[in-house]
A and B are shown apart, each in its own frame.
Chain A
């Protein structure tokens, strides 16, 4: 599903964010990206959905070389990739429903489909009763659920999550991880960058560790370190 072939990414010609990294992630896998701050986790994720372009090497997503994808095709790539942020990035003036519907509206989905899919996904993330609330009326964990609903409402093949539990307390984080696990079990490939040791150690999924841009460990049922 995702393949990195000796990918190197530098910033301004000096900071090496990723150095000759190679990895292959299969369809339906759940992968943790770990490593100290500045080791290149976010860069790894941003390369997958073409927010960044590698300096060298190749990145294949669903069989397509995204590093050489012409820019007008990028939106269509991204429609197959859900993205969850540490800071949720919800639109403050829109309700929960509107925030989720927004993701479908702006890619031109017909209204009847939106009307059907949004309540279904809110049901999945357990927010049906808060559908008409504004983000500021929700807890952090609930806001992250909205953000996940928005990322998943279009049923992407891949879900990228950059420290999705970074702003949450441990109990709430467990709830978010359950949700991501459930999404993964429905067949979606999940790639998640995290600093959360206990999550990685309890989930026991594949772990890829980066250190100063180098891929130093890749274990199929790994722990944080």
Chain B
């Protein structure tokens, strides 16, 4: 058994080396397509995280200035408590906001260290009686004119912005990724087919001396699977770059306040990486299985 293991490893790498250019093309295509798949997943997750504050009917959030005065807060609270247009609300103070921020960026300590509870804006998460978009917009406008209010984010507008953005980007990426995944499967099929052609006599002899079909197939399938895995291996660091550069860019941009919540926990990046490796191996296996059943049968 050990001997067989080395036989397979040796045969596989000899073959990888033998058609290097095709192999590289296949590996790079797998890498690019999987990096796109991963980025698309990260952006979706980022959008989910960013919109997480808008849950359970919260339609808009009134952010107060970090240094808002107590009487300014009281004025707001009075409106909220008395107005029939407001069903319920939750007050998130600086410390709670800081806690949330810490949880969100738990694996980015440098970001957490850059803020203190003092500079966090307290906010009111508000569930209106009537969630109709026009009504919410009007309420938001009224609150934004109150003294001490920094800004008002409405679910309709903010979520739409983020979701529009994230669906558009992640769908475009996903579409490109699907095309490239198909291309890479075909490329792997091709490399394996080339490997098979290069060893026609060898395969013929193997069949005639009674090697089993699986014995003949395994090195080729292993080869395809390794292509897939190597491509995925290159895609994983790319994911971390996307996480630390691209998503961080959103977090630091002032354009849309909610993008500040656009963070993806490291755990999610790792999980995605594992999926990427699994998908990579699967692409390689499927591509080579196809080549093998197509060109190698008795």
Contact = CB atoms under 8 A, between A and B. Distances in A.
Interface stretch (A27-35, A59-67, A103-111, A182-190): A103-111
B204 A108 contact: no
A78 interface: yes
B210 A107 contact: yes
Contact of A91 (B3, B201, B211, B216): B201
B4 A107 contact: no
Interface residues of B, dominant DSSP? helix
Contacts of A81: 210
Contacts of A103: 205, 209
Contact of B210 (A76, A102, A110): A76
Given A71-B298, A108-B4, A79 B209 contact: yes
Contacts of A72: 212-213
A75 B211 contact: yes
Given A49-B208, A103-B205, A106-B215, 19 more contacts: A71-B298, A72-B212, A72-B213, A74-B298, A75-B211, A75-B213, A78-B209, A83-B208, A89-B201, A89-B204, A91-B201, A102-B209, A105-B7, A107-B209, A107-B210, A107-B211, A108-B4, A110-B3, A150-B205
A154 interface: yes
Interface in B192-224: 201-202, 204-213, 215-216
Interface string A162-196: 00000000000000000000000000000000000
Contacts of A108: 4, 215
Nearest to A91: B202
Interface of B: 3-4, 7, 201-202, 204-213, 215-216, 298
Contact of B209 (A51, A71, A154): A154
Nearest to B204: A89
25 contacts: A49-B208, A71-B213, A72-B213, A74-B298, A75-B207, A75-B210, A75-B211, A75-B212, A76-B210, A78-B208, A78-B209, A79-B209, A81-B210, A83-B208, A83-B209, A89-B201, A105-B7, A106-B209, A106-B211, A106-B215, A106-B216, A107-B210, A108-B215, A110-B3, A150-B205
Contact of A77 (B204, B206, B210): B210
A62 to B, nearest CB: 14
Interface string A37-55: 0000000000001010000
A71 B297 CA distance: 10
Contacts of B205: 89, 91, 102-103, 150
A107 B207 CA distance: 10
A158 B176 CA distance: 57
Task: Tell me which of B202, B206, B212 has the highest count of chain A C-beta atoms within 10 A of its own C-beta.
Answer: B212
Task: Tell me which of B201, B204, B209 has the highest count of chain A C-beta atoms within 10 A of its own C-beta.
Answer: B209
A103 B205 CA distance: 8
Interface in A86-104: 89, 91, 102-103
A91 B209 CA distance: 14
A79 B206 CA distance: 10
A147 B252 CA distance: 72
Interface string A105-121: 11110110000000000
A71 to B, nearest CB: 6
B3 A111 contact: yes
B10 to A, nearest CB: 11
The 6 lowest CB-CB distance pairs between A and B, nearest first, are: A79-B210, A78-B210, A106-B211, A103-B209, A75-B210, A75-B212
